Amino acid sequence: MPPVPNETSNLLAGGGTRQSGGLVSFEPQDIENLLSLNPKIKPYANAVPSAVTKKVKKHWKRNEDKSENLKCNTCSPLYNNFDDIKHTTLSERGALREAARCLKCADAPCQKSCPTQLDVKSFIGSIATKNYYGAAKAILSDNPLGLTCGMVCPTSDLCVGGCNLAATEEGAINIGGLQHFAVDMFKQMKISQVLPPDVPNPLPEAFKSKIALLGCGPASISAATFLGRLGYADITIYEKADYLGGLNTSELPAYRLPYDVINFELDLMKDLGVKIETGRALSTEDLTVEKLQKDGFATVFIGIGNPEAKTIPMFNGLTEEQGYFTSKSFLPQVARASKPGMCACKTQKLPELFGTVIVLGAGDTAFDCATSALRCGAKRVFVVFRKGFINIRAVPEEAELAKQEKCEFVPFLSPQEVVMKHGRIAALKFFRTEQDDEGRWIEDAEQPTKLKCDFVISAFGSGLYDAKVKNAMAPLKMTRWGTPEVDVTTMETSEPGVFCGGDLAGVAETAVEAVNDGKIAAWSIHRYIQKKFNVTVPSTPQLPKFYTDIDNVDISVDVCGIKFPNPYGLASAPPATTCGMIRRAFEAGWGFAVTKTFGLDKDIVTNVAPRIVRGTTSGHIYGPGQGAFLNIELISEKTAAYWCQGVTELKTDFPSHVVIASVMASYCKEDWQELVIMAQDAGSDGIELNLSCPHGMGERGMGLACGQDPDMVRNICTWVREVCTIPFFAKMTPNVTNIVSIAKAAKEGGADGVTAINTVSGLMGLNMKGVAWPAVGKEKKTTYGGVSGNAVKPMALKAVSAIAKALPGFPILATGGIDSADVTMQFLLAGASTMQVSSAIQNQDFTVIEDYITGLKALLYLSSIEGLEDWDGQSPPTARTQKGKPVVSVQNIIGKNLPNFGPYAKEKATVVAEEKKKMQNLLETEESSLEQNRPANKLKSLPPKVAEVIGKALDKIGTYSDLDNREHVVALIDPEMCINCGKCYMTCNDTGYQAIEFDPETHLPRVKNDSCTGCTLCYSVCPIIECIQMVPRSGLYEPKRGVALSSDWQPRLPDMQLRKKMDNAVVQ
C-alpha cells in the first residue's frame, strides 16, 4: 500500500525535515504538492504586470476572444454542424435553478403576453418541484405544440417581455428554455394522450361529423388536437407535401427545431384518432372547399400558410445554378438534408454554397438563412437590409445568434441590380436608403454601393399568388391582398362552416400565434357543428385540457375509516385562518383541512404583530421560495362557536371533503371534553388535539406544556376518548428528547393516530444591533417562535419514520416541510398517510394543490412503467451535458479529454469541425437517428395505491450498527461534464481526505482512489448533477490510522469494530 498522509517524511514549516514516525501535525510532501492550488489567505495585494495577464487570460477564456475577431475569418467551422445552438436550452440542473427564481406573480403578465395564454407560473412552479409531468400538462393543455414553441418562440417579444423580474438586476426568467425542458422531459416518458374523462360515451351524432383541415402546419395541428379532445371522431388533415409540420418542418433549421420534436407533437395528435393524408393539396386540380362540402364534411379549416416567396423583378429568371435562392427554396433543401425522419428520403445533399453569400431581409427567416448558409459551406455571410439596426424585424435572440456566428450586418441598402459574370451572380448593386423627416424611407441614387458575392438568398416574406389555390377557396370572399376575409376573433370566413387560421388569416406571424388561431377555430367549429344539432354552446371557449392515463390514477386514501379524496390538506396554520379560506382551498382541490386551533372562550387570544417572518436557513433569499418561516402566532382569535358553525357549513357544501377540527385546552378534563363534543356535534370528520404549540400557549399551561409529558398526553387522550366517537389525532411536538414515547402515550390513551410534527422552537436571527425579528412594540422584544418549512423536513421525516417503526400501522398525519409531490412520496415511504401543508402555501397560494396532485399521480404511474426502472421519480438518468447541450466528446477521436475553455475549447471545436466535414450523409448518423415516440411505454403492473407505498422504506432505515462497513464507494469524476470549478478539490482538502488532484493547466480534477474514503463530500458540493458519481471500491477499504494500532490491540465492541468474513478473510 502506498504511503498515506502523516505517515511519511515531510518538510517542516521552519524548513527542517521530519523523520517518519515523528510529528503528525504537518502534511507530508505529496499532500503539500497536492495542496498547491488550494485557496490561501493572501498576505499582500496581488501584483501581476498587465502584459502577463493579457497572455494568461487567453488560457482561461470561456467567452469569445475579441482579439481573435481581428484575424482572418474565412473558415467555416459550422459546415455540416446542425447541433443545438439555442442559448435557452437547459439541463435539469439549469431548469431547477431557473424555475426557483420565478415569482409566480398574481395576474401574471407573462401569461397575458402569450398568444395561447399559457399558465406560465403554474408550469414553472411544477418544474421547481420536479413535477415535470405537471409542467408539461399545463403547457400542452393550452398549446398542443408546446415543445416546438418552447424551442422557437420569440419569447423576448412575448412572455419574457412581460416578466416582472425584468425590473430586477437578475433579469427575466428564461421561460422558453423552461417550457422546452418540461415538455422534453414528458416526451422521454413516452406516454400517450387520451380523451378527457368528460367526453360523452357513446358519442352523440354531432361528434361523428366529418371535419377537414387543409395543411398540416401549426394551426391545423392545434385545431385538430382540440377538436379531438372535445370528442370529434372523424377528423382528417390533408397535406400537399410528403412531410408534415408545415413551415416548422421545412423552414426552421434543425439546430433550432429537430424533426423528432414535430413528430412527437404529431403523435400526441394522432393518439386522439386524427387522420392525415399527404399528397393532397388545396387546388382546383385536387381538393376545393366546395368539393369537400359536397363530400359531406361539416366544416373545413384552411391552414395552408403563405406558400410562395415574395420576390422583386430584378431576380426574375435567376436559378439556383446561377447562385440565387429564395428562403422558400433554400431552407426546405437544408431541412431535408439535415432533419432525419422529415421525409422518406435516405440521402439528401445540402445546398452546396461557397465564398460569399448575401442574404436580403431582416426578419427571423433571413437570419435562419444566414446561419444555415454557414453550415452549407459559405465562408462569409452578409445580411443586408433596407433599414437600420434599430429597425431589424427579427427578435433580438435571432439577430444575436447570427452575430455570434460571424455573420456581418449591412444596413441602409436597397438592392437595384444583379451583376452577372460567366453566367453566375458576381455582385449586387445597391442604393443607400435614408429616412426623411416624415418617416418615409427613400433610396438615394447618389449613394450607390456594390457588394461582390457568389450567392444571394432573398428573404422578403411570403404570400399566396397561385390562382389554382385561390380559386379552390370559392365561394370565400377575398381581401384586396388576395387572402380570405376572416373574423379574427372566431377565425370564421365569409362562408358558413369554413374557417381559416395561421399565416393565411393575416394575424399570425409566429408559430405560437398560428397555434392559437387553430385553438380559437376549434371552439368556433365546435359551436357551428353543435348548433346544427340544436345544441347551444357558450361563446366563451371551454376547451378540454391535456389528459393521459396518469390523470386517472387514484390517490385517495383511507385513514381510520375516513376516506380522503387525496392526501393533501391545510395544516392548522395561517392558510386555515378562516372558514372562507378553507372553502376556497376545497374549491381549488385540497382534499382536507385542519381548522386553525380554537379553544374555549375563556382561553381566547389576541396576537402580537409582527409575528410571521421569513427564515434565513437558505441564505439571503427574498420573495417566495423561502426555505423556512418563523412565527409567534397563537391559536385562532376566533371563537369556538365560529369554527363549529363553519365546520357545519363546509361539510354541508363539501360532503366528500374531510374537515378535522383542531382544539386546545389546558390540562383540564372538562375543558377538553367540552371542546371535543362541540367539534364533534358540528359535523367534523375528525379531531386534532393540539398538544404542541411551541410558543405563547405553553406559558398558559396549554400546547407543548401538555405535549412534552407522556403522562399528560396519555391522560388527555383518555379523557377525549371517553366522549369522542370519531377519530382523533394527537399533534406531536418535536421539542422533546424522544417523540416516540409521546406517540406511544397518545396511542395508549386511545388516540387513533398522531400528527407529526408541529413547528420547531427556535430563534431565527439577530441584526447587528442585537434585535431579533420579529420585534414587537417599542421595546423591540421577541420570543422563541416556531420554525416551519423545508428547513424542518429532516426532523419531520425522522419523527414520522421513528413513530412508524415503533408503532406499525398507527396512522400518522405528516406535516413539516411538505412542498411537493416529491417530498410527499418521501413521507409516504417513511410511514405517513396524509400530508398537512402550510409554509408552501405561504410561499405561493392554494393553487399549488394542482401541482401536488398531478405530481403524485405521475410518481405512482411512472413507478409501474416498464423501461423506466432507472428513473428517479420524474427524473431520467442524468444526461451528460454542458450548458444544456449534449457533451461533445473527443476522447475517441484524439485519445484524451479536453476542458471547455481557452486553447482546449478551440482545439475541441477544430476536432469537431473536422469530423463534421467528413460526414457524407447527415440523415444516417448515429446521433441523428429519429427517436420513435410510439408505441408508448406500457405498464408492467397497475399503479400502486397510496396505501400501498406507506412505510415501504422503513426497512431501509435503522441503527448505525446495521450499516455494512465493508461495502465502500469512491468518487468518479466525469471530466467532460466538469466545469473546472475545483469545488470538489477544495472540500476534499480542507474538510476531507486530500484525495483529489487538480491539474494546474486544465483544471481537471482527478480522484486518487487509494486516498479516497468515499465520504461523498465532493459529490455533495459539485454544482453539476452527476458530474461526480460514487462507484463501488475495488477491494476493501483500509483506514489510515495515522499512528498504527499496537500489536496487542483488542476491540471493545468486536461485533461493531471488526469486519465480518469476506472472501474467506477476516480484516480489522
Omega before 77 within 30 of 0, i.e. cis: no
C-beta of residue 546 within 8 angstroms of C-beta of residue 854: no
> How would you classify residue 1050: left for phi > 0, otherwise alpha for psi between -120 and 50, otherwise beta?
beta
How far, in Å, are 474, 492, 493 from residue 484 at the CA level?
10, 10, 7
What's the Cα-to-Cα distance from 118 to each of 189, 699, 1014, rounded to whole Å? 22, 50, 46
Tell me the CA end-to-end span of the chain in Å, nearest whole number: 16
Report the alpha-carbon distance of residue 829 to residue 950 in Å, rounded.
Answer: 5
Pick from 851, 822, 846, 824: nearest CA to 835: 824
Per DSSP, the three-state class of 564 is strand
Is residue 788 a contact partner of residue 631, using CB atoms and an 8 Å limit?
yes
Q: Which of 693, 724, 988, 1015 is catalytic?
A: 693
Q: What nine digits make up the cell of 477?
A: 370572399
d(CA 458, CA 304): 22
Looking at beta carbons, which pairs linking 864-867 to residues 24 or more positions away fall under 8 Å? 864/939, 864/940, 864/941, 864/942, 864/943, 864/944, 865/189, 865/937, 865/938, 865/939, 865/940, 866/937, 866/938, 866/939, 866/940, 867/937
User: What CA–CA distance (Å, rounded) separates 235 from 1057?
Assistant: 72
> What does 980-1001 look like in DSSP terms, one character per residue?
---HHHHHHHHHS-S-EEE-TT
Nearest one of 1060, 968, 1066, 981 to 1018, comparing CA atoms: 981
Q: Which residues pair with 435 in a beta bridge?
A: 441
| CA 1025/CA 1027 separation, integer angstroms | 6
SS3 174: coil
Rama region for 445: left / alpha / beta (φ>0; ψ in -120 to 50; rest):
alpha
Torsion of CA 171, 176, 179, 181, to 10 degrees: -90
Q: What is the residue whose three cell numbers read 393565411? A: 504
DSSP at 478: B
The verdict on whether 693 is a catalytic residue reads yes
Residue 123 DSSP code: H
Neighbours of 779 (CB within 10 A): 8
The contacts of residue 582 (CB under 8 Å, 6+ apart) are 570, 576, 593, 595, 646, 650, 659
**708: which residues sit within 8 A by CB, 6+ positions away?**
733, 735, 736, 742
- Strand-pairing partners, residue 47, are none
- How many CA atoms are closer than 13 Å to the CA of 280, on its beta-carbon side? 16
Task: Of 323, 548, 281, give the one whose Cα is nearest residue 457.
Answer: 323
Sequential DSSP letters for 353-409: --SEEEEE--SHHHHHHHHHHHHTT-SEEEEE-SS-GGG--S-HHHHHHHHHTT-EE
- CA-to-CA distance for 998 and 1006, rounded, in angstroms? 6
Q: Are 262 and 296 in contact (CB under 8 A)?
A: no
Nearest by Cα to 679 from 703, 693, 698, 662 = 662
Angle, CA 341 vertex, CA 340 and CA 346 arms, to 5°: 70
> Closest Cα partner for 675 from 637, 711, 728, 713?
728
Catalytic residue ranges: 693
